[in-house]
């Protein structure tokens, strides 16, 4: 199906670079009996080499033409095809601890990452191709420009590492941005456990609401200076200077004080 016309609305940029493809498969380290889900198999650049190592591979794909293409491939007998939008997909419907991989459609990557955080306890590891700028935000540490809400929220759930940088020419069509492969490994309570996750999540959102403002200002409706100082945050600090674990601490402090 080399005649398949890439659909922009589905974020289709197909991997062409065989070295990058084998680097990704090596990073995933698939073992024959692993439960693996690939998001957006497309024209099977990663799918085909994965099926060589696996007894079975779950794939979730939205494009009907691509599903027809996949069904005709020699490795189709190894595929379990989930037809539809991955943002609606119930990852827990596949029983067992799983590995998730994908060269993700960049237009849905942030909502997808937040959905995947919900099933982190059910995951062994995840390897994703994303916009490099997004990966840099995911792995960013405090006091850097890239550090923000995405860093704090994902670091609550995962250890993350930028593994491979991938230039636009590795794809057809070439995207306008650089890409990178990230490894995400769920970690339990590494930065502490939020007693009330929604409270923690809202607090992080509000803290970064206006990056230039102090934490005192951004949180003025829910925390006073004494609350901030109680957990070791200086009221005049900005959100980007505050470590992930302090957000958990502050949220728990406010929940308990309420
Ligand atoms: N894995 C292939 C590769 O590396 O060449 C294709 C990657 S392409 C960047 C993204 C893939 O995700 C496409 O196959 C696209 O049709 C699929 N896709 C886009 N939006 C999707 C969605 N909401 N749910 C499931 N698949 C989606």
Last residue of a domain, one of 166, 186, 206: 186
Give yes or no: residues 100 and 182 share one domain: yes
Task: Report if residue 1 sits inside a domain.
Answer: no
Counted domains in the chain: 2
Which CATH number does the domain housing residue 167 bear?
3.40.50.150
Last residue of a domain, one of 153, 186, 219: 186
Interface confidence, given as ipTM, is: 0.99
Would you say the CB of residue 87 lies under 6 angstroms from ligand 1? Answer: yes
Task: Report if residue 154 sits inside a domain.
Answer: yes
Which CATH number does the domain housing residue 224 bear?
1.10.8.100
Domain residues for 217? 197-257
Region 240-253 average pLDDT? 98
Would you say the CB of residue 105 lies under 6 angstroms from ligand 1? Answer: yes
Last residue of a domain, one of 142, 158, 186: 186
Determine if residue 13 is labeled as part of a ligand binding site: yes
Would you say the CB of residue 61 lies under 6 angstroms from ligand 1? Answer: yes
Give yes or no: residues 216 and 179 share one domain: no
**pLDDT, tens digit (0-9, with 9 covering 90-100), for 128-173:** 999 999 999 999 999 999 999 999 999 999 999 999 999 999 999 9
- Cα–Cα distances (Å) from 229 to 96, 170, 218, 226, in that order, read 43, 49, 15, 5
Task: Report if residue 192 sits inside a domain.
Answer: no
Task: Report if residue 24 sits inside a domain.
Answer: yes
Give yes or no: residues 77 and 169 share one domain: yes
Give yes or no: residues 140 and 227 share one domain: no
Q: How far is the CA of 158 from the centre of ligand 1 (A)?
A: 23
> Ligand 1: which residue has its CA nearest to atom 1?
41
Give yes or no: residues 126 and 17 share one domain: yes
Give yes or no: residues 103 and 135 share one domain: yes
Predicted local distance difference test score (pLDDT) of residue 2: 57
Give yes or no: residues 58 and 123 share one domain: yes
Task: Report if residue 223 sits inside a domain.
Answer: yes
**pLDDT, tens digit (0-9, with 9 covering 90-100), for 86-95:** 999 999 999 9
Task: Report if residue 191 sits inside a domain.
Answer: no
Region 226-232 average pLDDT? 98
> What percentage of the chain has pLDDT greater than the value 90?
94
Give yes or no: residues 65 and 180 share one domain: yes
> What percentage of the chain has pLDDT greater than the value 70?
99
Task: Report if residue 156 sits inside a domain.
Answer: yes
> Ligand 1: which residue has its CA nearest to atom 7?
103
Residue 3 clears pLDDT 80, i.e. is over it: no
Determine if residue 218 is labeled as part of a ligand binding site: no
């Amino acid at each position: 199906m080399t005649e398949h016309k890439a659909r922009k609305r589905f974020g289709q940029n197909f991997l062409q670079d065989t070295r990058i493809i084998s680097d990704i498969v090596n990073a995933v380290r698939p073992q024959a009996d692993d439960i693996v889900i690939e998001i957006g198999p497309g024209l099977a650049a990663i799918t085909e080499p994965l099926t060589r190592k696996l007894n079975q591979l779950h794939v979730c794909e939205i494009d009907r033409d691509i599903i027809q293409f996949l069904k005709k491939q020699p490795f189709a007998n190894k595929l379990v095809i989930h037809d539809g939008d991955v943002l609606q997909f119930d990852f827990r419907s596949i029983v067992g601890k799983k590995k998730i991989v994908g060269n993700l459609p960049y237009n849905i990557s942030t909502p997808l990452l937040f959905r995947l955080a919900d099933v982190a306890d059910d995951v062994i590891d995840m390897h994703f191709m994303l916009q490099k700028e997004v990966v840099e935000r995911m792995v960013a540490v405090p006091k850097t420009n890239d550090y923000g809400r995405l860093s704090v929220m994902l670091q609550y759930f995962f250890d993350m590492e930028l593994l491979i940088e991938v230039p636009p020419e590795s794809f057809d069509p070439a995207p306008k941005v650089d890409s990178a492969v990230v490894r995400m490994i769920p970690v339990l309570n590494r930065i502490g456990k939020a007693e009330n996750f929604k409270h923690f999540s809202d607090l992080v959102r509000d803290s970064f609401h206006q990056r230039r403002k102090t934490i005192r200002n951004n949180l003025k409706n829910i925390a006073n200076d004494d609350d901030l100082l109680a957990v070791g945050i200086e009221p005049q600090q900005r959100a980007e200077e505050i470590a992930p674990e302090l957000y958990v601490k502050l949220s728990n402090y406010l929940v308990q004080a309420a």
